[in-house]
């Protein structure tokens, strides 16, 4: 190959790499903006749902897969419609009728058994949870 052809190929390769880098950086910024928006919406939805108060006894009555409420950080959530969509499968049932704060926040049981990945839930999970809030703990 002649040197000018090789030079053109190298320049094109460098240009493609630069364009791909810019695209990846833009996607990362967009994802951060989406996560920030989701977190803001979560706070707004939580504030709206805080108008109804339930007792721990009322939550305890709803402890099955067909009627599943839980308490997380003083808020009450109806998980019933989310159970089939839960990425962690049936592990969510451990929260039915009880305070699921430790399960959700630390991903571990009251006995200290790690559930799932053991890492905190994502902003997407927080947004999904906020949509399920029905009130606060009395």
The pLDDT tens digits of the residues spanning 22-76 come to 665 665 555 555 555 555 555 555 455 457 999 999 999 999 999 999 999 999 9
For residues 36 and 98, give the distance between their C-alpha atoms in angstroms, rounded to a whole number: 30
Band (21; pLDDT cuts 50, 70, 90): low
> Residue 138 maps to which CATH number?
3.10.120.10
Number of domains the chain is built from = 1
Asked if residue 104 has pLDDT above 90, the reply is: yes
The residue to which tokens 């990846």 are assigned: 24
Strands 53-54 and 63-64, by their bridges, are unpaired
Band (84; pLDDT cuts 50, 70, 90): very high
pLDDT of residue 16: 64
For residues 7 and 1, give the distance between their C-alpha atoms in angstroms, rounded to a whole number: 10
Query: How much is the pTM?
Result: 0.64
Tokens encoding 82:
């989310």
Asked if residue 11 has pLDDT above 60, the reply is: yes
**Mean pLDDT over the full length of the chain:** 82
CB neighbours (10 Å) of residue 91? 14
pLDDT of residue 51: 77
pLDDT of residue 126: 94
**Domain coverage including residue 91:** 1-138
CB 78 within 8 A of CB 69: yes
């Amino acid at each position: 190959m002649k040197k000018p052809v090789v030079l053109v190929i190298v320049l094109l390769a460098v240009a493609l790499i630069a364009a791909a880098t810019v695209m990846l950086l833009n996607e990362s910024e967009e994802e951060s903006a989406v996560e920030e928006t989701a977190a803001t919406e979560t706070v707004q939805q939580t504030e709206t749902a805080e108008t109804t108060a339930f007792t721990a006894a009322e939550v305890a009555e709803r402890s099955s897969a067909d009627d599943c409420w839980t308490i997380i950080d003083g808020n009450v959530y109806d998980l019933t419609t989310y159970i089939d969509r839960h990425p962690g499968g049936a592990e969510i049932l451990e929260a039915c009728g009880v305070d699921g704060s430790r399960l959700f926040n630390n991903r571990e049981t009251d006995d200290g058994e790690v559930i799932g990945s053991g890492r905190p839930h994502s902003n997407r999970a927080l947004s999904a949870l906020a949509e399920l809030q029905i009130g606060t703990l009395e």
